[in-house]
Structure 1
Amino acid sequence: MKYEEFLKHVESVAQLNSREEAERATRATLETIKERIVGNEANHLAAQLPEELAGYLRGREGESGQAFSIKDFISRVGEKENVDPTAAVIHIRSVFTVLQDAITPGEFVDFQHNFSEDYAELFPPSSEITA
């Protein structure tokens, strides 16, 4: 999936008003994913995304992910994006939904395994976390 297509899908799924809003939502979510998951897993995810998005996931190679709650994940995205928690949840869900379409099914499963079951509400309904 190309960069512009990814952003267009995020904008549509989240019902945002502009490409710029979709860029902010995507960047905030991917940067928070980078903080949360193991660095090498972030690199695997980055390898399947356009370079403009992949950069948000790189830079923690060989590091462990930070263990923080779903509430903290939502808060971090909201702070980065400067939106309230309700909007942050919608944006995270939208980015996760587009990610599911943008990467291979196996990589999406690997990505999900970085999150505990309490994160399930952020993932598309058709996917299941079986950690």
Structure 2
Amino acid sequence: MSEGISGDEARHLATEVPGELRGYLYKDVDFAERIDLVEFLNEVGVRAGTDGERTAKGARAVLTTLREAVSAEDIENLESELPKDFRRLLHPVDRSVGA
């Protein structure tokens, strides 16, 4: 996902996550590439060797973990740099009974 956010935001988020995850947020460039949700999920699927709903569930799990690991302000900053359709991954709807 670091491709879709600015270098400054990626570097900041990297300081907030455990060391073994920082490399995934590394960027050589400062600009953000515009990437839509479908393109993002396709890329994640290729990298992970998954497809369809399994890819989306994995991406949601990673973003949920990130949301729990960093401040609300950091998540707001991240959201402000991503297309609005990414909110479905950042804020999944809980469809469990009684929720």
Question: Tell me, which stretches of 5 or more residues in structure 2 are unaligned?
Answer: 94-99
Question: Counterparts in 2 of 1:1-131, with a 5 A limit?
Answer: 33-60=1-28, 62-125=29-92
RMSD of Structure 2 on Structure 1 (CA): 1.4
State how far apart, in whole Å, the 1-side matches of 2:24 and 2:71 are.
Answer: 19
Structure showing greater relative contact order (alpha-carbon pairs closer than 8 Å, 6 or more residues apart): 2
1:33-59 deviations in whole A, cap 9, x for unaligned? Answer: 111111111001101011110111113
Secondary structure of 2:47's counterpart equals: helix
Q: Distance in 1 between matches of 2:7 and 2:54?
A: 27
Count of paired positions: 93
What's the CA shift string for 1:12-35, capped at 9, x where partnerless? xxxxxxxxxxxxxxxxxxxxx111
State how far apart, in whole Å, the 1-side matches of 2:50 and 2:27 are. 25
Structure 1's unaligned 5+ residue stretches are: 1-32, 127-131
The answer to whether the 8 Å contact 2:60/2:92 transfers is no
Runs (4+) of structure 1 exceeding 2 A deviation are: none
Q: TM-score, normalised by structure 1?
A: 0.66
Measure, in 2, the Cα distance between the counterparts of 1:58 and 1:88: 22
Q: Secondary structure at the match of 2:24?
A: coil
Question: How far does residue 124 in structure 1 lie from its aligned partner after superposition?
Answer: 2.1
Q: Deviations over 1:85-107 (max 9, x none)?
A: 22110011111111111011111
TM normalised by structure 2 equals 0.85
User: How far is the alpha carbon of 1:125 from its aligned partner?
Assistant: 3.9
